[in-house]
Amino acid sequence: MSLRPFAPHHYGIVVREDPIFGYLTPVWAADEVVDVTAQVPGQVVQHAIQSGGLGPSDVRIRAPESLTVTFRISEAYNPLHPRPEIFGPGRALRLVEELQEIARIGQPVSVLVRGFDLLPSRVIENVQVTFAREVAEATIQATFVEVRQVTLSFAPVEQDADLVAMGSQAQATIGLF
């Protein structure tokens, strides 16, 4: 799925991820990104144990990065919005509920906001919503935390002379597949 038709400098785009199918549609998109705050937390260790040409590489323990974004959603119709089909009464509430459901199930997402490239493998840690009834809009503050994904691969088991001599008995005993 190409994200080029969207205007990332205007919209905050949240794209659901699936480990098998990749990006899922429809995307979640706000009307405006009000504020973006990025954090790259970490901890400096007291006793570095490795040194090299550029200095110790293990002197800082890296924690998952987080991105806090404040979105604004209104009831006003915008034909250039990535999802114009969702406009109508109750639109802001529907988008808020959609984002809360993504957060509730812990589905990984990719985030596209101004000032950043596409940030993959994020999970919504926190969602705060404020409704302004006078102007029929919602302000949503969401925190997206990086999820480190690990791909596991299995190496074939090397059989030594003892395993070959024992044959199928060894496989049943030690649980080889």
- Each residue's pLDDT tens digit, 15-26: 888 877 778 777
Give 138-162 as a DSSP string: EEEEEEEEE--------PPPPP-HH
Specify the amino acid at residue 42. Answer: G
User: How far, in Å, CA of 146 to CA of 120, rounded?
Assistant: 8
Burial class (CB in 10 A: 0-12, 13-18, 19+), 134: exposed
User: How far, in Å, CA of 81 to CA of 10, rounded?
Assistant: 9
Whether residue 128 has pLDDT greater than 90: yes
Cα dihedral 114, 118, 123, 127 in deg (nearest 10): 20
Structural contact between residues 112 and 145, judged by C-beta atoms closer than 8 angstroms: no
SS3 of 163, please? helix
155 Cβ partners below 8 Å, 6+ apart? none
Whether residue 119 has pLDDT greater than 80: yes
The better pLDDT of the pair 79, 141 is held by 141
- Each residue's pLDDT tens digit, 34-90: 899 999 888 877 765 655 555 555 677 788 999 999 998 887 777 666 676 677 777
Q: What pLDDT was estimated at residue 50?
A: 56
Q: What pLDDT was estimated at residue 51?
A: 56
Whether residue 102 has pLDDT greater than 50: yes
**Rounded average pLDDT over 153-161:** 70
Strand partners, 123: 145
Structural contact between residues 15 and 27, judged by C-beta atoms closer than 8 angstroms: yes
Question: Can you list the domains of the chain with their CATH numbers?
Answer: 13-151 (4.10.410)
Structural contact between residues 152 and 144, judged by C-beta atoms closer than 8 angstroms: no
SS3 of 70, please? strand
β 109-112/42-44 pair status: unpaired
Listed residue (15, 6, 2) closest to 98, CA to CA: 15
**Residue 29 tokens, joined:** 């998109």
Give percent of the chain with pLDDT exceeding 90.
Answer: 21
User: How far, in Å, CA of 41 to CA of 13, rounded?
Assistant: 24
